[in-house]
Chains A and B, each alone.
Chain A
Amino acid sequence: MSQNRARPSARTGAAGAPARTRGLFRRALFLLALGLVCAALTSCSAFHDLLPSDSGSAAQSGTGPNLALLALPAYNNDEATATPAVTAGSAYSNVDLWLDATQNMGGINANQASMYPHFGRKYREGGFQYRYGSNVGWYENVLRDFLIAAGESHVRTLRYGNETLPDDLLTSFGLDTADASVWRDMHTCDTETRAGMFSQFTAENMADSFYSLGSPLWLNRVAAQGADALENPSLVQPMADALTKQTEEIAAGNAEYVLQEGRDGQNCALLEALQHLDTDKLSVITVDPASVRKTEGTDDQGQPVEYYRQVLTGLGVFDRGLCVGLLDFQLDYMGQMSTFSTADFSEPLVWGRVILNEKKQTFENLGVMPRRMLTLVIGTRARVDAYLAALGDALANDEALKDLRGPRNGELTYTADGKTVTQQPFGFEWHSTVIASPTVPCYTQHTDGAALAADNASVQTQENGVSLVSLTSAADGAQPDRTITVRFPLAADSGGATLNMNALSGAALQTLNTLLLTRTLPNTQENQALIKQDGETALAYRDQLYAFAAGQAGGAFILRGITQENGSLVCTVDVKGAALKPGYYRLRLSADVTGDQFDWQPVPWIDGKESVSASVTDTQVYTWETFTAAITQYDRDSKGLPKLFSHAWGSFTDKPYHSLRVPDFPPVYQSVHLSELAAQFRAAASTATSPLVRCVFEVFVPYPQTETVIPQL
């Protein structure tokens, strides 16, 4: 019974357990499937979120190495434009007034054997500082106006003339021959100049006057100055002793103490004075152009030398940011000139005289003649401009400069260009210009408004201000030829010169740094070590290693030119696509400006048809010297010149004088060597090479058939 009962139960148990298991398993499968379906349905939207957005996909779709991983060496901008070292401070407010004390200025005949008298009792034929009664030359007024223009500044007056201080003299008194301040102290007339001193010049007798050679009164003024006012207070006594010695030697006729003309005839008072300028101060230098001798010659090696350019360059006038104001005055003159440029006359030139009634021998009028005087104003641009503006106001308000002077009835004539010129009354006039080193801004990548553009490329400015031009390859992966253009807004011109873009010759495109693909190797540990050992940068992409290293641009970039277009400076660079390599190029556009690349704006009174400049040729000098020698030879014994030659060699005549043709009178009424001096000043101003363009930019060349791979993590 129990077995029978047990069998069904056993059967039931044997068959029931798998059935239950199967049922459970089916239910589990059903629940699992149901759960999966539910999970799939509910996670559809969530799964969508797991997909990267389309915006980021473009950055990921590139092939080839990711060149964004490369980095050029850090760029250091080491070309900051150096600011000219201009000395500033209270000392600069002082003015040095250099007065030309050559004999031509004072109408003094330096030839002692001359037959012609220097002055009369009532009058003083003192050149620019003549006097007849209360009548004085315009020069004295101009000097006063120089003081007015200086304003509150302390004006130190220095006298420079044909006297010299030999090195032996200075050395014997323990003075430093190379110290320009000693030279300036020894030529100082007054450290606190007053207008009365100029009147004093006019009131003096011709002998031992301010303009006489070796004047004891004016040569040795050191001891009369306060020691503190001098640059070398401790050297007052030796300087005074040396000057006393100088005066004695000049009086004794020692030629060593008188300026010799030099090998090329270049030595003159102005050239000597310029070498001793104090460039920390505003220097106002009066110059009689007739005393300026040769302006150019040759050095010991036979190389051409422009003396005034050389002096200014040596002083570093323009390198320090200083400028030269060039002034030309038409003044009245009455006196004698025994030299004119390089010509030394046996008989002095007579230019201007007192006109007397021939019958009664009484004063009729003052036959002053026009002569030109130059003035150099050397200092900072702002200081020079301010001084010239103040001087202009002073001259305009000076009533003494507004009348007409000269022979009223055509009494005085001279010959010019083979024709007789009858002098008419003339007025005071003046011109000025400023010659400054042309200041062109240096255009860099940091210049406001600088723009870089390229065909088929994107341009981005990096944190260091350097633009990165990312070139885009063509559909076939090749790089097409294209053009990169850099534009700068042009700044205004200054310094009296304009930049001639067509003459730019220093333009160049330099490759500063590169990081270019050099080779491709299989991506293995050995090759990774090899590339690292060679100092290259390796980029791994799939099973390849791409080695990058500094290389040559290989003519991929060529500067086509720098032009001026619509107020912009345009630099155009041609890019040869075939020569490009994947990687980075750091390029620098550079262009320098030298004097040759500046066109100086013509100044009518210097360069134009209305120029007041005159040049002197050796032939003219020979002719004049021969003629004056003939006068000395044939008329010295007659105690007087023929009437024809009594003033300025008289009117034009065809008649020969002892078989000599009477030449044109030397052009003392013009500014001799003005154009040459201006040219040398301009040349000195534009000697320095200034950077015009220093623009750095980088070019990125992607791997062929790739886009720039920049991760968007």
Chain B
Amino acid sequence: MPKTAAVSPKTHNRTKVLLCYILCWGIALLLPYLGLKTLYPYKLAGTAPTLSPQITALLPAAAGETAALSVGTDPAALQNALSVRDQQWRMVVGAAVAAAWLASLVWQLLWRARYVHPRQAARAALRARRSYRWSMLGIGAVNLLAATALYLVGISRIADRGLWDYLLYFGGFLLVPVAAALCSRLAAPPAISGRHAYFRRL
């Protein structure tokens, strides 16, 4: 009897899962970063709102460079201060997105970990679908909470907000739940996933 090559679907699946996670969560983090880094200076230049001192004090560039400016301040110093303010604002936006991203990732991994070794796969799959919906609701809530906080902290102070504002500032909070959903649906544990199941197996 001819010997067939030993295939380890388990190993193959793990790689795909890892790639799926990296791709989804990486994109969810990379796109907001690129938006703030490359699009912001050309689409939203000069729109950074003033942040409260409690926030700026936590930021690396806050100390020393952000003395109170008023009318009549030297324009060069003002220019510098405004650059710092832009930088700070982008850091705050990035931090909010990153926090939401991290919380969502942890939440999603916790959900996944729960169904890595289910005893009764069919029942576990049913429970996983329910818990997945609740998890997505939670992840959505986390992102909504972060977006709301960001809105209250700064976005609400920006005048003439337009599509680019919402896209750059809230896009990250939309991408994270999408990434969580994709990872949950495509990279679920083998025990609860299948080729034609609710949780597709890569």
- A residues neighboring B (CB under 8 Å): 14-15, 17-18, 21-22, 25, 28, 47, 49-53, 56-57, 59-63, 65-66, 68-71, 460, 462-463, 468, 523-525, 539-543, 708, 710-713
Say if the beta carbon of B15 comes within 8 Å of chain A.
Answer: no
Please, which residues of chain A bring their CB within 8 A of the CB of B124? 18
A49 touching B69 by the CB < 8 A rule? no
- Taking a contact as CB atoms under 8 Å apart, the answer to whether B157 and A713 are in contact is no
Which residue on chain A has the smallest CB distance to residue B160?
A63
Q: Closest CB-CB distance, B136 to chain A, in whole Å?
A: 15
B118 at the interface (CB under 8 A from A): yes
CA distance in complex: A462, B45 (Å):
28
Question: Nearest residue in B to A712 (C-beta to C-beta)?
Answer: B50
Q: What is the distance, in angstroms, from A322's C-beta to the closest C-beta of chain B?
A: 45
Interchain CA distance A65-B51 in the complex, whole Å: 19
Contacts of A468 in B (CB 8 A): 72
A710/B69 contact (C-beta < 8 A), A14-B119, A47-B149, A68-B78 known: yes
- Given the complex, which residues of B lie within 8 Å of A63, measured CB to CB? 159-160
Q: Is B44 an interface residue (CB 8 A)?
A: yes
A713-B66 contact given A60-B157, A69-B78, A541-B45, CB 8 Å threshold:
yes
Which of B6-14, B17-25, B81-89, B174-182 touches A? Answer: B81-89
* CA–CA, A682 and B71, complex, Å: 50
Q: A712: which B residues are within 8 A, CB to CB? A: 50, 68-70
CB distance from A224 to the nearest CB of B (A): 73
25 residue pairs of the A-B complex, CB under 8 angstroms, read A47-B149, A49-B54, A50-B52, A51-B152, A52-B51, A52-B154, A57-B50, A60-B49, A60-B50, A68-B71, A68-B78, A460-B72, A463-B72, A523-B43, A540-B45, A540-B46, A542-B46, A542-B160, A543-B42, A543-B44, A543-B164, A710-B69, A711-B82, A713-B50, A713-B69
What's the minimum C-beta distance from B70 to chain A, rounded to whole angstroms? 6
B 26-46 binary contact with A (CB < 8 Å = 1; else 0): 000000000000000111111
Chain A residues, Cβ within 8 Å of B69 = 710-713
B118: which A residues are within 8 A, CB to CB? 18
CB contacts (< 8 Å) of B81 on chain A: these are 711, 713
- B122 an interface residue at 8 Å Cβ cutoff? no
Contacts of B2 in A (CB 8 A): none
Q: Which of A47, A62, A68 makes the CB contact (< 8 A) with B159?
A: A62
Q: A61–B158 Cα gap in the complex (Å)?
A: 7
- Chain B residues contacting A539 (CB-CB under 8 Å) are 46
Q: Which residues of B contact A710 (CB under 8 A)?
A: 69-71, 73, 78
A contact residues around B49 at 8 Å (CB): 52, 60
Q: Is the CB of A53 within 8 A of B46?
A: no
On whether the beta carbons of B67 and A713 are closer than 8 Å, the reply is: yes
Q: Which of B50, B55, B74, B157 contacts A50 (CB 8 A)?
A: B55
**Are B78 and A711 touching (Cβ within 8 A)?**
yes
By the criterion CB–CB under 8 Å, are B159 and A61 in contact? yes
| A539 (CB) vs chain B CBs: closest residue | B46
Give complex CA distance A18, B164 in Å: 47
Q: Which residues of A contact B51 (CB under 8 A)?
A: 52
In the complex, what residues of A have CB within 8 A of residue B71's CB? 68, 460, 708, 710
**Apart from A60-B157, A542-B47, A711-B50, 15 more pairs, CB < 8 Å:** A22-B114, A47-B152, A51-B52, A51-B153, A63-B160, A462-B72, A463-B72, A523-B42, A539-B46, A541-B45, A542-B164, A710-B69, A710-B78, A712-B69, A713-B68
Are B50 and A542 within 8 A (Cβ)?
A: no
Note all chain B residues with C-beta closer than 8 A to A543. 42-45, 164
Q: Does B197 contact A (CB under 8 A)?
A: no
CB distance from B130 to the nearest CB of A (A): 12
- Cβ A56 vs Cβ B43 within 8 A: no
How distant is the Cα of A71 from the Cα of B56 in the complex, in angstroms?
27
Query: In the assembly, what is the distance between CA of A25 and CA of B74, in Å?
Result: 59
A539–B46 Cα distance when bound, in Å, is 8
A713-B81, A713-B85 known; A65+B72 contact, CB < 8 A: no
Among A70, A468, A710, the one with the most B-chain Cβ atoms within 10 Å of its Cβ is: A710
- Among A47, A463, A711, contact of B85 (Cβ-Cβ < 8 Å): A711
B132 to chain A, nearest CB (A): 14
Given A68-B71, A463-B72, do A541 and B50 touch, yes or no (CB 8 Å)? Answer: no
Decide if B75 touches A71 in the complex (CB within 8 Å): yes
Interface membership of B1, Cβ < 8 A: no
Choose among A18, A460, A711 the residue with the greatest number of B CB atoms under 10 Å from its CB.
A711
Is the C-beta of B76 less than 8 angstroms from some C-beta in chain A?
yes
Interface contact A25-B114, CB-CB below 8 Å: yes
Contact A542 B52 (CB under 8 A): no
User: Chain B residues near A17 (CB, 8 Å)?
Assistant: 119
Contact status A524-B42, CB under 8 Å: yes
How far apart sit A256 and B119, CA to CA, in the bound complex (Å)? 144
Nearest Cβ on chain B to A11's Cβ, whole angstroms:
10
Return A705 CB to nearest CB of chain B, in Å: 10
Cβ–Cβ < 8 Å partners of B154 in chain A: 52
Q: Which chain A positions have C-beta within 8 A of B159?
A: 60-63
- The smallest beta-carbon distance between A253 and chain B, in angstroms, is 82
Q: State how many angstroms separate the Cβ of B123 from the closest Cβ of chain A.
A: 9
CA distance A710 to B69 in the complex (A): 7
* Distance of A21 Cα from B69 Cα, bound (Å): 57
Partner of A18, one of B50, B52, B79, B119: B119
Q: Which chain A residue has the least Cβ–Cβ distance from B149? A: A47
Nearest 10 pairs between A and B by C-beta?
A540-B45, A71-B75, A713-B66, A541-B46, A63-B159, A63-B160, A18-B119, A523-B42, A543-B43, A60-B50
Alpha-carbon gap, A71 to B70, bound state (A) = 14
Name the interface residues of B48-68: CB closer than 8 Å to any CB of A.
Answer: 49-52, 54-56, 66-68
Residues in A with CB closer than 8 Å to B47 are: 541-542
How far in angstroms is the closest Cβ of chain A from B201? 21
Residues B75 and A61 in contact, CB atoms below 8 Å apart: no
CB distance from A25 to the nearest CB of B (A): 6
CA distance A393 to B78 in the complex (A): 68
Are A61 and B157 neighbours in the complex by a CB distance under 8 Å? yes
Residue ID in chain A nearest B165 by CB atoms: A542
Contacts of A542 in B (CB 8 A): 43-47, 160, 162, 164
Q: Which residues of A contact B43 (CB under 8 A)?
A: 523, 542-543
Q: Report Cα–Cα, A56/B157, bound state, in Å.
A: 10
A50 to B50, CA, bound (A): 11
**A24 nearest CB neighbor, chain B only:** B114
A463 to B71, CA, bound (A): 11
Distance in angstroms between the alpha carbons of A49 and B82 in the assembled complex = 22
A582 to chain B, nearest CB (A): 15
Closest to A462 in B: B72
- Chain A residue nearest to B157 in the complex (CB): A60
A61: chain B residues at CB < 8 Å are: 157, 159
Give Cα distance in the complex from A385 to B55, angstroms: 73
Chain B nearest CB from A58 CB (Å) reads: 11
Known: A542-B160, A711-B50. A523 touches B152 (CB 8 A): no
Which residues of A sit under 8 angstroms from B84, Cβ to Cβ? 713
Residues of B within 8 A of A59 (CB): 50
Chain B residue at smallest Cβ distance from A525: B42
Docked complex Cα distance between A227 and B153 (Å): 93
Query: When each residue 142-186 of chain B gets 1 if its CB lies under 8 Å from chain A and 0 otherwise, what string results?
Result: 000000010011100101101010000000000000000000000
A18 proximity list for chain B (CB < 8 A): 118-120, 124
Q: Please, how many angstroms separate the alpha-carbon atoms of A463 and B73 in the complex?
A: 10
**A56 contacts across to B, CB distance below 8 A:** 50
A71 x B82 contact (CB < 8 A): no
B46: which A residues are within 8 A, CB to CB? 65-66, 539-542
B116 closest partner in A (C-beta) = A21
Specify which of B76, B79, B85 lies most central, judged by the most chain A CB atoms within 10 Å of its CB. Answer: B79
Q: Tell me which residues across on chain A come within 8 A of B110, comparing CB atoms.
A: 25, 28
Partner of A71, one of B52, B66, B74, B164: B74
Question: Does A52 contact B72, Cβ atoms closer than 8 Å?
Answer: no
CB–CB B76/A71 < 8 A? yes
